[in-house]
Structure 1
């Protein structure tokens, strides 16, 4: 597994997180397309934040070995990034449309 593949898996997990959260909490949903876009950007932002702590894809593949614990933390951070991205996007949307 390469760092690029781990990055793509992380983004996909963020998409799943945002769409699942939107599915179960209808008031936070922007539809499938909106949830998908927010999941991508939320996942990337959260992984960039946690990447500074050593959970980035290239740390997972350090010295051509696979660190499973770092990968699991990366997946959890991606999922949470998608969920929190959708939550904050809906908060911003509501603030901007509040007359």
Structure 2
């Protein structure tokens, strides 16, 4: 698995988490397209912010070896980013529409 594939998987996991959050909690939903956008940006933001702690794609593929533990942490952060992206987008939306 290459670093690019790990990055794309992280974004895909964030998209799935955002859409599941929108489907589960209707008050946070922006539809499929809105939830997908929130998932992409939320996932990328958290991975870039916290990836420096050692679970970025380069660290996962250190010296050609795949570290499953770091990949699982990366997946959890992507899920959190997708969920937080939808929630943050809803909070911003509510604040701007007052």
For the criterion TM > 0.5, the same-fold answer is yes
What secondary structure is seen at the aligned counterpart in 2 of 1:66?
coil
What secondary structure is seen at the aligned counterpart in 2 of 1:83?
helix
Deviation digits for residues 12-48 of structure 1 (CA, Å, limit 9, x no counterpart) = 0000000000000000000000000110010000100
Note the residue ranges of structure 2 that are not aligned, 5 or more in a row: none
Name the count of aligned residue pairs: 98
Cα distance in 2 for partners of 1:46, 1:86 equals 13
Instruction: Answer yes or no: is 1:86 the counterpart of 2:90.
Output: no
What secondary structure is seen at the aligned counterpart in 2 of 1:32?
helix
Who is 1:59 aligned against? 59
1:52, CA displacement in angstroms? 1.1
What secondary structure is seen at the aligned counterpart in 2 of 1:55?
coil
Cα distance in 1 for partners of 2:5, 2:58 equals 10
Note the residue ranges of structure 1 that are not aligned, 5 or more in a row: none
Cα distance in 1 for partners of 2:27, 2:37 equals 17
Who is 1:28 aligned against? 28
Who is 1:15 aligned against? 15
1:49, CA displacement in angstroms? 1.1
